[in-house]
Amino acid sequence: MTFDADISAHLGVLFTFAGKVAEYRPAGGDPVACHVFVRQAEETEPAGFPSRVPQLGYTLEAQPDELGQTPAPGDVFVVGSDTWTITPRILEDSGEIFRAVVE
């Protein structure tokens, strides 16, 4: 097996054991139980400009395979007592990992 194949094969295990239990609530569908990572990180705004201001923001990572679809802006994740809404700032969508800025 290649390195990428090994990572793909065990990604679900990583999310299950190290991620937080969550509920994905898509705008046009039924809620789905899942596991996610929510991280606080420095984001720079506004995107696309040569001079940007750093600020703290939150990102959420999930597995589209576990969700049954790729999240879209406006979709919501509930993690414990926190509710996170996907913003239009999608940072990664590889098909295996979905990562976006959340509010």
- DSSP classification of residue 2: -
Distance CA 103, CA 93 (A): 18
Distance CA 72, CA 48 (A): 21
**The CATH number, out of the four listed (2.40.10, 2.40.160, 1.10.15, 3.30.1140), of the domain defined by the range 3-102:** 2.40.10
Q: What is the pLDDT of residue 9?
A: 81
Contact 70, 36 (CB under 8 A): no
Residue 77: pLDDT band (50, 70, 90) is: very high
Q: What is the pLDDT of residue 42?
A: 74
Residue found under tokens 């996170």:
84
In tens, the pLDDT along 22-74 reads: 999 999 899 999 999 999 977 766 666 777 777 788 999 999 999 999 999 99
| Tokens found for residue 26 | 């898509």
Q: Give the angle 12-16-22 at the CA atoms, nearest 5°.
A: 115
Domain layout of the chain by residue ranges: 3-102
